[in-house]
Amino acid sequence: MTIPVTVIGGYLGAGKTTLLNRLLADPQGVKLAVVVNDFGSVNIDAALIANREGETISLTNGCVCCSIGDNLALALHDLAERPDGPQHIVIEASGVADPARIADYAASHPRLFLDGIVVVADAETVRERVRDKYVGDLVRDQLAAADVIVLSKTDLVDADACRQVRAWIAAEVPGARVVAAPGAGEVADLMLSGAAGRAAMSRPRADDEHSRQFATWSFVRRQMLDGGALRAAIAALPPAVVRAKGVVRLSEAPERRFVLQLVGRRWSLEPEAGEVRDDWASDPSVIVCIGLADQLEPEGLEALFAATPIGHVPQAARALLRGEGRS
């Protein structure tokens, strides 16, 4: 089993720890390991603590919190090699770290892979920060490294200022995926690939939940997909899509299944590790996208993926699939 690794970056005080605390409070059943610089900043409910041993705090919900100590690689390798290891690792980068460099650590062990880089930017101060003589270049590098940018403290600025900072980020980081800081119920959807896929497939969101920032859209096809067309469609996904996960069959290798992972601007489509079978034909190809509810356009996505299936689509399947759409 491989373990996805998410890096949370962002300058001092941007809101990384708030995000982590929300995630630890509601990991949606994912056995999570959180790697932090300093336990002190993570707000763990004492009732949740099962055990504390040196650099590791074990929680009653199965999650663990580890401090980096003086060697991040060592902390990660330790997690990767635990017999009862985590399903997902989240690293809180220090406020002055370049998250792209921290992300390199996700490739330091055969069992780990980088899921994505989430960078938190303070809506109120980020534009001022990039003009700072000491850290301006660093804050710019942090934003540039982001697969998804979480805009925090949007409640402290008015709507106009919020629009301005979003426009500024769009110009500063071409193709940036910008979301507002997710609430407790949504943070796992954004941060954890496992949770995103499961949550979207097992508990479709109701349309009337207006408070929700994210909506999901799924794409299910019985027939195999064309790899080239699918890759083109993924590359052309609009910035409103912040996460996607899929298991698909491709005509280029019918004996395998392929896994799609997308976090903002980063995505991969790789053959699934494990067994090669010739009876995958009975499994459908499924892709679930999570995006900004107010910007996600199902028709546009539908059109984008229309060219990906190979061959004839039976009428019955069309009827079946019509029911999917935006949920």
Partner 1 sequence: MPGPITIFSARKIITMDPAVEEATHVAVRDGIILELGTLDECAVWGPYTLDDRFGDSILVPGLIESHAHLLDGLLWAKAEYVGPIDRRDPSGKQHKALKSVSALVRRLKEIEAMIAAPGTPLIGWGVDPSLNDLVDPITRHDLDQVSKDRPIFLLHASCHLAYVNSATLELANYAAIKAPGVLRDASGAPTGELQEMAAMMAAIKAVASDLVGASTDTEQFFNFAKVAQARGATTIVDGGGSTYFEPAFLQAALAATGSPDFPVRIVAHNNGITVPKVEDMIAAATSLKDKGNDKLAFQGIKILLDGSNQGFTGRLRAPGYLRTGANGLWNRAPEELTRIVSAMHAAGMQIVAHCNADQASEAFIEAVAAAQAEKPRADRRHFIVHGQLLDESQLRRMAALGISATLFSNHMYYWGDFHRAHTFGAFRAAAMNPAATALRLGLVIAAHSDTPVSPVDPLLTMWAAVNRVTTTGRVQGPRERVSAYEGLRMMTYNAAWLLHRDHEIGSLRVGKRADFTVLGDDPLAVEPMAIKDVPVLATILGGRVFPVAA
Q: Which residues bind partner 1 (CB under 8 A)?
A: 11-12, 37-38, 40, 69-74, 77, 95-96, 98, 101, 104-105, 107-110, 113, 134-135, 137-138
Rounded CA separation 233/301 (Å): 9
Nearer to partner 1, 55 or 297 (CB): 55
Q: How do strand 3-9 and strand 258-263 relate by DSSP bridges?
A: unpaired
Asked if residues 162 and 179 have their Cβ atoms less than 8 Å apart, the reply is no
| Residue 74 CB, nearest approach to partner 1 (Å) | 6
Tokens at 167, concatenated: 């426009």
Q: Return the bridge partners of 149, or none.
A: 119, 178
| Residue 170 CB, nearest approach to partner 1 (Å) | 25
Nearer to partner 1, 113 or 212 (CB): 113
Nearer to partner 1, 81 or 252 (CB): 81
Q: Which of 120, 167, 85 is nearest to 14 (CA)?
A: 120
Rounded CA separation 146/92 (Å): 14
| Residue 96 CB, nearest approach to partner 1 (Å) | 4
| Residue 134 CB, nearest approach to partner 1 (Å) | 4
User: DSSP secondary-structure letter at 313?
Assistant: P
Asked if residues 20 and 54 have their Cβ atoms less than 8 Å apart, the reply is no
Residue for token pair 């109120």: 124
Nearer to partner 1, 132 or 158 (CB): 132
Nearer to partner 1, 31 or 77 (CB): 77
| Residue 124 CB, nearest approach to partner 1 (Å) | 15
Nearer to partner 1, 103 or 304 (CB): 103
Rounded CA separation 325/156 (Å): 35
| Residue 54 CB, nearest approach to partner 1 (Å) | 11
Secondary-structure breakdown of the chain: helix, strand, coil percentages, each rounded to the nearest 5: 35, 25, 40
Rounded CA separation 229/191 (Å): 27
Q: Return the bridge partners of 133, or none.
A: none
User: DSSP secondary-structure letter at 250?
Assistant: B
| Residue 102 CB, nearest approach to partner 1 (Å) | 9
Nearer to partner 1, 38 or 207 (CB): 38
Rounded CA separation 73/281 (Å): 41
Rounded CA separation 65/60 (Å): 12
| Residue 257 CB, nearest approach to partner 1 (Å) | 21
Nearer to partner 1, 207 or 272 (CB): 272
